[in-house]
Structure 1
Amino acid sequence: MNKIITAAAALMLVAPAHAENHETTEMAAPSGDVAAGEKAFRQCVSCHIVKNDAGELLAGSKARSGPNLYGAAGHQIAGRDDYKYGPSIAKIGADGMIWDEESFVAYVQDPTGWLRETLGDPDAKRSKMTFKVRKADNAVDLYAFLYSLKPPVKEEKAE
């Protein structure tokens, strides 16, 4: 009887892991308004640009103090090779976390607070981003705008 219970328990542990390998990575579509997000991006242009992989400027002007936000929404946190991120956000990115709507909105409304909470370290280094998006609706719309410029590609998980 113990062998049957052990085998059943082992199958319960292995089956979900095996099934997970065949699922497609999906992310919920943003809930914000893209057009409103494009307007809200005006508050970001003093530090950020959105320039696609072909070098075409999609938003912003010549700002360079913050990273290019092309491919931010729905993609890996601190995932650009052409920007030197602060240590706290780089650690989160190295752990493979992606910018989903919830994390993006929380971060842009309180960058240092979000980093410290996410890392579980109240003494974590401050964020390089000092600006805070005051209205949650603007943050949600910003995410939708950035997501619309480069949505994440559905990829098959490796076995």
Structure 2
Amino acid sequence: MKLLLKAVTIASAIVATPALADGWTLVPEGSHLAYGTIKKDTVGEVNSFTNLSGHVSPDGKAEIQIDLSSVETNIDIRNERMIEYVFRKAGTAELTATFDMAEVSGLGVGETTTVDTEAALSLAGTDVAFEAEMFVVRLSESSVMVSTNDMVFISTEDAGVNAGVDKLLELASLPGITRTVPVTARLIFNMDGEQAAVSSTAPVAVAAVEGDIKAGKKVFRKCSACHKLEQDRHTVGPSLHGIIGATAGQADGFRYSAQLQESGIVWTADTLTAFLSDPRGTIPGNKMQFPGLKKDEDITNLIAYLQAETQG
């Protein structure tokens, strides 16, 4: 787990170019840390932590705090038992790491890379080291997202929580709970300082999209009930005027969800493609009700149409 966060912070800071050498702060609303358990050999469950915080310094030192009281197993009594017996009433677990920024420096907006990382997890007096491969994508000039490229497995023995797991077995009258836990993470970081504030609203130059504009106009009919193309004409949804190259959730005069405002995403062909195919999955918690377009061709044509019609 620590390793995952460490990798994430590393990746986020690494993404910074010399011109963007500020620190990076974790965005809890868009970040997600989950782990899985299997009990009775056949029952699989997914649990998570809902409160994360952290920072990456300009020199590549990463520190992530996990609020252990925010554990969510979807059963209240089990949450309480995890906090008392497994986490031993510790307030937080801390992930620390350092990284070589040169490893992923120079990523442009929309570009991705993978990095191998090493990190340490401190939990209730026990320290454990991990290794993981992290997937890094630069969402904008001031935002990066880091996620586990594969699952990371953590030994309950190494983490010092075997006694707590034994207690859970006793209280729940279970024959067994796995002692190796798979962990996945999605962490979003925003750049600190005034430069980040400037970058968050400045349009980004985006290459023209190759698509059928006429066909895209027909696809837009599915969007037109909520979105207009005229500048500042907001209805159920915000105006889409100038959307290509703009930062999500920043248009004046429309009340966006906090999730969209804080995502840091710049609307490029790649980010729009991801969002239009799965709006809720791309930015969890945003207010858009449309389930998404299922055909890649429709998405490409729609983006080409938006670029042609709204960039004037």
* TM-score normalised per structure 1: 0.62
Residue 127 of structure 1: which of 278, 286, 299 is its match? 286
Give the Cα–Cα distance (whole angstroms) in 2 for the partners of residues 90 and 16 of structure 1.
26
Aligned residue for 2:283, secondary structure, equals helix
Structure with the greater relative contact order (CA < 8 A, sep ≥ 6): 1 or 2?
A: 1
Structure 2: gaps (5+ residues): 1-16, 20-105, 107-203
The answer to whether residue 240 in structure 2 is matched with residue 69 in structure 1 is: yes
CA contact (8 A) 1:78 1:90 kept: yes
The answer to whether residue 297 in structure 2 is matched with residue 137 in structure 1 is: yes
Q: CA deviation at 1:51?
A: 0.6
Q: CA deviation at 1:74?
A: 2.2
Q: CA deviation at 1:16?
A: 6.6
Give the Cα–Cα distance (whole angstroms) in 1 for the partners of residues 300 and 218 of structure 2.
12
Deviations for 1:97-135, whole angstroms, at most 9, x for unmatched residues?
A: 31000100110111111114xxxxxxxxx2211211121
Give the Cα–Cα distance (whole angstroms) in 2 for the partners of residues 130 and 64 of structure 1.
14
Partner residue in 2 for 1:43: 222
Larger Rg: 2
Could you list the runs of 4 or more consecutive aligned residues of structure 1 that deviate by over 6 angstroms after TM superposition? none
Partner residue in 1 for 2:208: 29
Give the Cα–Cα distance (whole angstroms) in 1 for the partners of residues 268 and 295 of structure 2.
18
CA contact (8 A) 2:230 2:241 kept: yes
| Residues matched between the structures, number | 113
Give the Cα–Cα distance (whole angstroms) in 2 for the partners of residues 31 and 87 of structure 1.
32
**RMSD between aligned alpha carbons?**
2.6
Give the Cα–Cα distance (whole angstroms) in 2 for the partners of residues 88 and 16 of structure 1.
29
Q: Which amino acid aligns with 1:104?
A: L
Partner residue in 1 for 2:272: 104
Q: Which amino acid aligns with 2:209?
A: P
CA contact (8 A) 2:228 2:239 kept: yes
CA contact (8 A) 1:30 1:143 kept: yes
Aligned pairs for 1:136-155 within 5 A: 136-151=296-311
Structure 1: gaps (5+ residues): 1-14, 56-62, 117-125, 153-159
Give the Cα–Cα distance (whole angstroms) in 2 for the partners of residues 91 and 129 of structure 1.
15
Give the Cα–Cα distance (whole angstroms) in 1 for the partners of residues 222 and 205 of structure 2.
30
Distance 1:129 1:84, change over 3 A: same
CA contact (8 A) 2:205 2:245 kept: no
Partner residue in 1 for 2:184: none
Partner residue in 2 for 1:58: none
Give the Cα–Cα distance (whole angstroms) in 2 for the partners of residues 26 and 66 of structure 1.
24
Percent of paired sites with the same residue: 30
Distance 1:150 1:141, change over 3 A: same
More strand, by proportion: 2
More helix, by proportion: 1
CA contact (8 A) 1:74 1:147 kept: no
Give the Cα–Cα distance (whole angstroms) in 2 for the partners of residues 128 and 137 of structure 1.
25
* TM-score normalised per structure 2: 0.33
Give the Cα–Cα distance (whole angstroms) in 2 for the partners of residues 88 and 142 of structure 1.
24
Q: Which amino acid aligns with 2:214?
A: A
